[in-house]
């Protein structure tokens, strides 16, 4: 299903109401000539339209590790975007925890040196915890493009995120990825 020579982008979506709109990111990436595969966290699966995303991408949406001996059903990634990224995912990723397929793929991609961009989507309370701020700084220090701050998307109080999901700047993740993958 993937044309030979296509650039493969994994979009990793977490357990957030914002994941309902991840198809918008897929569309934007496809317009930029990426072949997109979607991987979701177990809680992310609750928010996305799995059949719709599979039809949109031409690839199955994965959420779980495959069984030993089963073939890979997705082509290898050339780059990854983790969006929306929850505080839970950001903190586990910065700690190197790979207890979900999504985290395992991102941690492995980082070890391989693949370009990775992330757009955290959290609230003021979770973002105010010292571990979250340290995790963001740690990921940035390791070369991950973390798009976080009021200049990207203003934080909302707990329970307020639903009101801004249509304001998520999906295009900024692709702009950052274009910068990361530009031939110098």
Instruction: Please tell me the distance from the alpha carbon of residue 126 to that of residue 87, in angstroms, as a whole number.
Output: 7
The pTM assigned to this predicted structure is 0.95
Instruction: Please tell me the distance from the alpha carbon of residue 135 to that of residue 11, in angstroms, as a whole number.
Output: 20
Instruction: Please tell me the distance from the alpha carbon of residue 156 to that of residue 86, in angstroms, as a whole number.
Output: 14
Secondary structure class of 71 (helix, strand, coil): coil
Contact criterion met (CB below 8 Å) for 61 and 50: yes
Secondary structure class of 1 (helix, strand, coil): coil
How would you write the pLDDT of the chain (184 residues) with one tens digit per residue? Answer: 566 678 999 999 999 999 999 999 999 999 999 999 999 999 999 999 999 999 999 999 999 999 999 999 999 999 999 999 999 999 999 999 999 999 999 999 999 999 999 999 999 999 999 999 999 999 999 999 999 998 999 888 898 888 889 999 999 999 999 999 884 4
Q: Enumerate the domain spans of the chain.
A: 7-67+74-181
Nearest to 49 by CA among 69, 11, 22, 84: 22
Instruction: Please tell me the distance from the alpha carbon of residue 124 to that of residue 132, in angstroms, as a whole number.
Output: 11
Q: Sheet holding 34-40: strands in order across?
A: 34-40, 7-13, 79-85, 116-120, 145-146
* Fold category of 7-67+74-181 in CATH: Rossmann fold (3.40.50)
């Amino acid at each position: 299903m993937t044309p030979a020579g296509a650039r493969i982008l994994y979009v990793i979506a977490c357990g957030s109401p914002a994941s309902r709109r991840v198809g918008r990111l897929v569309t934007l990436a496809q317009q930029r000539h990426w072949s997109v595969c979607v991987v979701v966290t177990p809680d992310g699966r609750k928010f996305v339209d799995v059949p719709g995303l599979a039809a949109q991408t031409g690839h199955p949406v994965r959420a779980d590790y495959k069984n030993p001996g089963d073939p890979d059903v997705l082509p290898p990634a050339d780059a990854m975007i983790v969006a929306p990224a929850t505080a839970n995912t950001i903190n586990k990723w910065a700690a190197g925890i790979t207890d979900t397929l999504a985290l395992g793929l991102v941690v492995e991609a980082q070890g391989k040196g693949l370009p990775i961009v992330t757009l955290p989507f959290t609230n003021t309370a979770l973002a105010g915890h010292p571990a979250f701020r340290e995790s963001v700084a740690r990921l940035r220090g390791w070369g991950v493009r973390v798009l976080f701050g009021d200049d990207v998307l203003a934080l909302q109080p707990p329970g307020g995120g639903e009101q801004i999901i249509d304001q998520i700047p999906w295009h900024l993740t692709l702009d950052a990825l274009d910068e990361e993958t530009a031939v110098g």
